[in-house]
Each structure stands twice: as structure tokens, then as C-alpha cells.
Amino acid sequence: MKKAGKGTVPVLRNNLFVKICLSFWLTTLFMIGAVLTFDWATETGPFRTKHPPRPGDPLHAQARAAVWIFEHEGRPALVQFAGRGVPGGFHGWLFDSQGAELTGGSAPAGSADLAVLAAGPRGGGSVSFTNRDMTAIRVVGSTGEVYALVALLPRPPGPPPGADQPPYMIGLRLLVVLSISGVICYLLARYLTAPIFGLGASVRRFASGELSARFGPSLGRRNDEIARLAHDFDSMAERIESLLTSQRVLLRDISHELRSPLARLAVALELCRKQSGSDLSNNLDRIEREAGRLNDLIEQLLTLNRLESGISEAKKAAIDLAGLIREIAEDAAFEAESMGRRVEVTSCDTCLISANEGLLRRAIENVARNALRYTGEGTAVEISLRRTSDSGKPFARIAIRDHGRGVPDESLPHLFRPFYRVGDSRERDTGGAGLGLAITEAAVRLHGGTVQASHPQDGGLMIEVLLPIQ
């Protein structure tokens, strides 16, 4: 039994769906980050340089080629060469040291002055002189004559489409990428984990006693590893259901068959009492007690078999649980007087539930009598009934607590198993056959509730029953 608001699993730590979804999504984020980091390091993509460096070496090579053609092939060859344009998009004009244009083209205004400046004594070496639109390169020919090549500076290429977009556009695009990748990762994670969650629900239904729970048919034509796991679970569930059904049928048949010999034994016992003397009275009483215990055991087996088969599920009606608890406490208190013990009802809230009164009475009585048997002499068995809630739904919480020695911690999960008894409780004078709490658990489960055992801090044993309120 889980109390409301407690025992919830941390979603981000233990939820397989969240793990898979976040793993895929974080992988996408890392990939985007790696691409952006590479673009930033190489100055490509959104980090590319807006203005590429101006080419220099092709212009010097073109100037030397023009001078060589002029000196070796003459001016007509130079004019023809200059008419093809300068490779790379430069259009140049060759000047001599006096500023005369040699290519026969119409040079831009100011180009002759720039050429004289480059070819004059101030030029020196291969220094270039550049104004805002033109550049002039000093070239010395093979004969020692000085020339100057004037060329228009190329206009820097415009930024590529989208290069000058505002920063928020990059963020918007990143948001779109993350949204689309998030949806895809969500769908993929759901496709992988939804069958696992469905299989887990079927396992819980099967563990709660619904032996007909199956999951394979709901997967349709799916044939991956999860589908094969579901089919393996269905095969296991079918086999377990078959074995348990056979066990219940065998137990029921044996119990029924034993009742007839017991009835005849009771008749024979009465005849022996009439025909025998007082010297056999003690032995006959012993036989009668053992026969009665055997008859009670058979009745408990039949009751447990009916509960586990769900036969009594339809026989329910609205009952006042508080009144039922008071009646059970009064009956238990009457028995407790002869044992030097007490029964106290510490709280009793009004609760109306839908239940089979006979089964529920027997379930609670089993726990109360078991507590009376093991509580310490002079102590009280405490019974409480409180309204509570679990996951927003109203429940009735019945707690029955004794002040005995309790049971080992490792025995708590097994107390409600049929025929399970703890250590010294196997003695016939104090312990039963181990069916009382098993009947309680089956009856409570049949009513949609749960039951659990725990150790209070100050000792003893507490049995808590949680039943849904109508």
C-alpha cells in the first residue's frame, strides 16, 4: 500500500521514456553544436568573412606579362592582350615612366598621375600605389625601362544571401530545428517505450490476480524484440494460469472429498461416546478437537478457493464500515477478557463502502483474532478506522495493531501467503494452519483494496487494510 504523495519515482531518473527522448534530443543538440563550432573555427557558414582578401599576386604577374609582351612583341601585341582583360576580373592599363598609356585603351581619370607616381623615383622596387578606386604597380622591364600597370580595384563581393540577417533569425532557425528534432525524438521514444509501459501494466494486472491478463494481441503485426518479449510473457501467463487453475480445482475437489469422511467420523465419535465409559472420554475429546480443526481447515481452504476464483465478487452491497468495525471489536473484546487482554477502538470515521459483508467481516476478524493471539498479556489490540486518500481517490484505512514480539523483517512480505507461518507460531497451541491472513488478503483484493504488514516504532505488528470508499 502506497500512501498519497509518497513513493513516487523521480521522473527524470527512472523513466525510460524520458531517458530515450532526452538522449535523442541531446544527441541532436551536440551535433548542431559541433557543426557550429567547426564553422566558427574555420570561419565558414554563418561565421564566414564578409570581405575576402584582395588578390595581389595575379596582378603582379599580369603586369610582368604585359611588359614582356610590349618589349618583345611590340605595342600591337600588347593592345591585343589588354583587350582580353586581366584574369580575375581586373582591367589594367600599362603606362611608361612619362605617363603615356601603351595599351590603347581609355584609361580612367587620374590613372596617368598614379602611374607616374609609381614609375617615378618614389616608386622604388615593386611598391604599389593605391587610391580609393585604382592601384598602380611599378614594373622594371628587361632593358631597365620602368613601367606602371594601373588597374581598377574590384568591388568587394556582396554578402551571400542570409549573411547579414539579424541575430534573432539564427536563433529562430535554431528553435525550429530543435522543435522538429524534439517532436521526432518524442515520437521515436514513444514508439519504443509505449509497448514496454503496456507490458508493465499487464504484468501488474497479472500479479494482482487477473490471470487472464495478456498483452501480445494489442501489438498487432509488430514483430520486433518487444513484441517477442510480450508473446513470451503471454506464454508464461497462460502456463501459470493453467497450473494455478489445476491447483485450485485439485484443492477444491480434495476439500470436498474430505468432508464426507469427516462427517462419518463425527457420527462414529458420537456412537463411541454412548458406548464407552468415562475412561475413554479424554481420548474421544482429543479426537473431536482434531476433527474440528481438520473441518475448520477444510472450510478455510474452500473459502480461499472461492475468493481466488472470484465467485463472491458479485455479492456486494453498501455497508457501514464503521458499524462493522465496532461489532468486530465488541466480539474480539469478549474473547480478550478470558485471555487477560483488551481491544480498543482508537478512532472510527464514518465510511460507506460497497462490499460483501460476510467476506469482509471474516477478513477483519482474522486479523483481529491473530493480533489477540500474539499481543502481550495485559496489553491492548488497537483498532482504528480513518478516511484517507491516495492519488486523489477516497479510501478507508483500517489499522489493527498488537503489542507482541512482532515478526522478523524478512517475513513481512510473506505473511499473506497460504500456509505461511513464522517460526514458533507453528506450534499447534498458538498458531493455525497459516490460512487466516491469506483469506484476508484475497478478500481485500476482491474488494479492490490492499493489505500490508509493518512494524511500529515501539514494537508489535500492525496490519493495514486500504479499501475504496463508495
Helix (H, G, I), strand (E, B) or coil at 200: helix
Distance, CA of 199 to CA of 193 (rounded, Å): 10
- The answer to whether residues 304 and 298 touch, using CB atoms and an 8 Å cutoff, is no
Helix (H, G, I), strand (E, B) or coil at 253: helix
Distance, CA of 386 to CA of 350 (rounded, Å): 8
Residue 403 is a catalytic residue: no
* Secondary structure of 201-245 in HEC code, one letter for each residue: HHHHHHHCCCCCCCCHHHHCCCCCHHHHHHHHHHHHHHHHHHHHH
* Secondary structure of 261-318 in HEC code, one letter for each residue: HHHHHHHHHHHHHHHCCHHHHHHHHHHHHHHHHHHHHHHHHHHHHHHHHCCCCCCCEE
- DSSP one-letter string for 393-428: EEEEEEEEEE-S----GGGGGGTTSTT---GGGGST
Whose CA is closest to 165, among 157, 173, 155? 173
Active-site pick, 51, 60, 72, 256: 256
One-letter amino acid identity for 251? L
Neighbour count for residue 306 (Cβ, 10 Å): 19
194 Cβ partners below 8 Å, 6+ apart? none
HSE value, Cβ hemisphere, 13 Å, CA-based, for 175: 6
Query: CB pairs under 8 A, 24+ apart, for 224-230?
Result: 226/192, 226/195, 226/196, 226/199, 227/195, 229/199, 230/195, 230/199
Cα Rg of the chain, angstroms = 49
Distance, CA of 325 to CA of 347 (rounded, Å): 10
Retrieve residue 5's grid coordinates: 504523495
Measured between alpha carbons, how far apart are the two ends of the chain, in Å?
19
Distance, CA of 233 to CA of 203 (rounded, Å): 8
Active site positions, annotated? 256
